[in-house]
């Protein structure tokens, strides 16, 4: 097939299509978002879930029914999905379940730089890690094969540079992909397996043993020539041996082209015997890895003598220059990176008014994740906390519970529409269940899209991933339904004075209040109008069709 220049995300989408993935689901999160968008554009069935936990559960159900499924999320999304993940390792799957975790070393657009290789070890799941787009494509096909062979979910770890970098891909270069061979794709069907899938303790105890037996088998396979596509030794200079995986392998190969390499594509379980023999074959063995010293610690724990990077290189991304420094054991201070212009709220963002008002009234603002987090930067500096998706509401409530009343009354939680649906709803339930004495005020910034990650749909927009019409969640109805006494919808851009009066009034009342500040994202507004028009036409056509199809007496 033709050479294509694809991002890692695009390569995964193409591989998913070529391997007959029946369903892709996930929640938008940089740098993983483009996988499902591309899968949908290529003709795959892709959908956004309200959050990563639900996405993984939907994917698991589909994989219980023998289908090949793909679930995507950013690294912190796996925290949300961790609960089903750990037990899905016990139940296993009948079809294939590939869980993409897109890590963000250096935090180009994230709140932390957690290393999700730890999840593979903790949950006991195989994890593959590609180092460019060709490998993203090839390894995805391998992940499907592994998932079906061992009946296990497979973690697919990507990092920002692998997700977003473009490199040349020749699809089906090794002749494995079943493109056009739809007849060979598994047909979904259901078989009862209560002992295998109902994780009461009596079933879970043997399931844990089964999981460990599978991992031992995979560890053996990972050392065999069959797994050479993933793990292999590239002989070179006997003085220097480098163990590397993912993007670090590319940096290292460029920094030390003549070194001997143990290239690791399967980061869990690690090929310990291969590593032992490799380390014995070279004078000095250095592990080059971004983030935590996961591989180095595992090899040392197995009694293999390797050198790890200095602690200073745990932070941020690696690049060729930093790898050279690690190899030279250079721990001198690094030059500060160039400081460009920081991002900011769009000049025409409808929420300038909200931040100006919060600042004017000296509010204590429990914030959340999205564009609006930029309210922390000048000129407003009107955000006091931002920790995790949905955390604004719980954190705001905690502040209200313990602060003296005069201060407590200044506390406001602020959360975007997509974030509210993702994990703000349970915070609202808590608010109704354990109301602070001074009440509380939650502002939902409803700009009608998941703006930060590039304007994706969510349940509150009433449109699906590909912008078609579907059921629509009403934020104000949800707030009323969980027992919030005061629920107001206002356009803060059209009526800034009204917004200020409302906020002042709600802060003074010792009641539970939700203010839905609703105005479409300026970047998405034109598209939203177009999609709404299309959705309205679709609904009208469907209604007409229903009328036509209905029995004659009902038409009257």
Partner 1 sequence: MSALPAGKVTNVVLAGLGGQGVIKASDILADAALRAGLDVKKAEVHGMSQRGGSVTSDVRFGERVLSPMVPHGEADFLVVLAPSEVEVNRDLLRPGGVLIAPDLVPEGELANQRSLNVALLGALCTYLDLPQDAFLAAMKAAFPEKLHAVNEQAFELGRTLAAGAEPTRRLRSPQ
CB of 346 to partner 1, least distance (A): 7
Give the residues across from 188 on adjacent strands: none
The pattern of x and - marking residues 264 through 303 that bind partner 1 according to CB under 8 A reads: ----------------------------------------
Distance CA 496, CA 499 (A): 5
User: For the chain, how far is it from start to end, CA to CA, in angstroms?
Assistant: 59
Measured from the CB atom, the residue of 192 and 341 that comes closer to partner 1 is 341
Q: Which stretch binds partner 1 (CB under 8 A): 183-191, 421-429, 450-458, 527-535?
A: 450-458
Residue 147 touching partner 1 (CB under 8 A): no
Contact partners, residue 60, CB within 8 Å, separation at least 6 = 69, 84, 88, 91, 93, 97, 153
Mask: binding to partner 1, 510-529, rule CB under 8 A, as x and -?
A: -------------x------
Query: For partner 1, which is the closer residue by CB, 117 or 263?
Result: 263
Residue 359 phi, psi dihedral angles, 5° rounding: -70, -45
Work out which of 217, 254, 477, 537 binds partner 1, going by CB under 8 A. 254
User: x/- binding map, residues 97-136, to partner 1, per CB under 8 A?
Assistant: -----------xx----------------------x----
Q: Of 9, 10, 14, 13, which is closest to residue 173 (Cα–Cα)?
A: 14
Site for partner 1 in 358-397 (CB under 8 A): 371, 374
Residue (206 or 257) nearer to partner 1, CB: 257
Stretch that binds partner 1, among 13-21, 188-196, 269-277, 342-350 (CB under 8 A): 342-350
Name the residue nearer to partner 1 (CB basis): 19 or 165: 165
Q: How far is the CB of 5 from partner 1 (least distance, A)?
A: 5
Distance from CA of residue 453 to its chain's centroid?
11
Q: Is the CB of 233 or the CB of 512 nearer to partner 1?
A: 233
Collapsing DSSP states into helix, strand and coil, what is residue 95?
coil
- Which of these ranges, 196-204, 296-304, 338-346, 499-507, lies near partner 1 under the rule CB under 8 A? 338-346
- Tokens representing residue 173 in the block: 């270069």
45, 164, 314, 401: which one binds partner 1 (CB under 8 A): 164
What single-letter DSSP state applies at residue 335? P
Residue with tokens 């932070």: 315
Question: Least distance (Å) from partner 1 to the CB of residue 338?
Answer: 4
484 binds partner 1 (CB under 8 A): no
Residue 167 within binding range of partner 1, rule CB under 8 A? yes
Among 19, 25, 26, 30, binds partner 1 (CB under 8 A): 30
How far apart CA 415 and CA 386 sit, in angstroms, is 10
Q: Of 52 and 148, which CB lies nearer to partner 1 in the complex structure?
A: 52
> Which CB, 220 or 257, lies closer to partner 1?
257
CA atoms within 13 A on the CB side of 517: 30
Q: Choose between 374 and 514: whose C-beta lies nearer to partner 1.
A: 374
Minimum distance of partner 1 from residue 246's CB (angstroms): 12
Q: Round to whole Å and give the CA distance between 221 and 270.
A: 11
What is the Rg, in whole angstroms, of the alpha carbon atoms belonging to the chain?
26
d(CA 306, CA 244): 12
Q: Which is nearer to partner 1, 335 or 404 (CB)?
A: 335
Question: Looking at 346, 429, 481, 489, which residue binds partner 1 (CB under 8 A)?
Answer: 346
Q: Which two tokens stand for residue 434?
A: 């354990």
CA dihedral 253, 256, 257, 258 (to 10 degrees): -130
The answer to whether 316 contacts partner 1 (rule: CB under 8 A) is no
23-26/68-74 β-pairing: parallel
Do residues 139 and 8 lie in contact, with contact meaning Cβ atoms separated by under 8 Å?
Answer: no
b/e per residue, 384-415, with b = 16+ CB within 10 A?
A: bbbebbbbbbbbbbbbbeebeeeebbbbbbbb
Name which position in 339, 362, 471, 554 contacts partner 1 (CB under 8 A): 339
> Please, which residues bridge with residue 513 across strands?
441, 486
Q: How far is the CB of 345 from partner 1 (least distance, A)?
A: 7
The one among 206, 238, 257, 498 contacting partner 1 by CB under 8 A: 257
With b meaning 16 or more CB within 10 Å and e meaning fewer, what string describes 193-206?
eeebbebeeebeee
**Distance in angstroms (rounded) separating the CA atoms of residues 157 and 33:** 14
Question: Per CB under 8 A, does 157 bind partner 1?
Answer: no
Q: State the nearest-atom distance from the C-beta of 496 to partner 1, in Å.
A: 22
Q: Nearer Cβ to partner 1, position 6 or 482?
A: 6
Q: Tokens for 254?
A: 């460029």
| Pairwise CA distance, residues 428 & 275, whole Å | 51
Of 25 and 260, the one with the shorter C-beta distance to partner 1 is: 260
Residues that bind partner 1 (CB under 8 A): 3, 5, 30-31, 108-109, 132, 160-161, 164-168, 234-236, 247, 250-251, 253-254, 257-261, 263, 319-321, 335, 338-347, 371, 374, 452-454, 523
């Amino acid at each position: 097939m033709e050479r294509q220049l694809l991002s890692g995300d695009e390569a995964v989408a193409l591989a998913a299509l070529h391997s007959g993935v029946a369903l892709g689901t996930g929640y938008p999160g940089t740098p993983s978002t483009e996988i499902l968008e591309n899968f949908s554009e290529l003709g795959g069935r892709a959908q956004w879930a309200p959050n990563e936990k639900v996405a993984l559960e939907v994917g698991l159900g589909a994989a219980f029914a023998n289908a090949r499924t793909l679930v995507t999320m950013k690294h912190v999304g796996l925290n949300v999905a961790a609960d089903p993940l750990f037990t899905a390792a016990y139940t296993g799957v009948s079809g294939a379940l590939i869980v993409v975790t897109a890590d963000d070393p250096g935090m180009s657009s994230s709140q932390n730089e957690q290393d999700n290789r730890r999840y593979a070890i903790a949950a006991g799941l195989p994890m593959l890690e590609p180092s460019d787009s060709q490998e993203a494509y090839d390894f995805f096909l391998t992940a499907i094969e592994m998932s079906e062979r061992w009946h296990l979910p497979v973690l697919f770890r990507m990092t920002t540079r692998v997700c977003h970098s473009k490199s040349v891909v020749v699809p089906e270069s090794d002749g494995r992909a079943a493109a056009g061979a739809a007849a060979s794709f598994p047909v979904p069907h259901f078989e009862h397996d209560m002992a295998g899938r109902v994780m009461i303790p009596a079933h879970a105890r043997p399931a844990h043993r089964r999981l460990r037996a599978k991992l031992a088998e995979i560890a053996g396979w990972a050392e065999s020539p069959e797994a050479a596509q993933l793990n292999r030794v590239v002989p070179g200079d006997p003085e220097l041996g480098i163990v590397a995986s993912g993007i670090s392998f590319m940096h290292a190969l460029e920094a030390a082209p003549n070194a001997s390499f143990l290239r690791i594509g399967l980061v869990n379980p690690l090929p310990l015997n291969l590593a032992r023999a490799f380390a014995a074959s070279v004078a000095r063995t250095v592990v080059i890895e971004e983030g935590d010293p996961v591989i180095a610690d595992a090899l040392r724990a197995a009694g293999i003598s390797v050198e790890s990077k200095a602690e200073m290189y745990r932070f941020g991304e690696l690049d060729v220059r930093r790898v050279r420094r690690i190899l030279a054991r250079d721990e001198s201070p690094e030059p500060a990176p160039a400081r460009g212009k920081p991002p900011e709220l769009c000049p025409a963002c409808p929420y300038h008014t909200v931040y100006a008002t919060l600042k004017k009234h000296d509010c204590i603002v429990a914030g959340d994740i999205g564009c609006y987090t930029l309210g922390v930067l000048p000129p407003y500096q009107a955000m006091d906390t931002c920790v995790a998706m949905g955390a604004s509401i719980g954190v705001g409530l905690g502040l209200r519970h313990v602060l003296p009343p005069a201060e407590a009354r200044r506390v406001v939680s602020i959360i975007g529409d997509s974030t509210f649906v993702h994990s703000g709803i349970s915070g609202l339930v808590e608010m109704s269940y354990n109301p602070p004495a001074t009440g509380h005020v939650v502002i939902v910034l409803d700009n009608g899209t998941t703006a930060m990650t590039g304007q994706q749909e969510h349940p509150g927009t009433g449109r699906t991933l590909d912008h078609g019409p579907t059921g629509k969640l009403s934020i104000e109805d949800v707030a009323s339904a969980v027992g919030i006494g005061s629920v107001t919808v206002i356009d803060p851009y059209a009526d800034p004075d009204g917004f200020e009066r409302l906020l002042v009034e709600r802060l003074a009342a010792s009641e539970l209040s939700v203010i839905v500040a609703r105005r479409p994202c300026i970047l998405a507004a034109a598209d939203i109008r177009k999609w709404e028009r299309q959705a309205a036409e679709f609904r009208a056509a469907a209604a007409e069709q229903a009328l036509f199809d209905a029995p004659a007496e009902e038409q009257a």
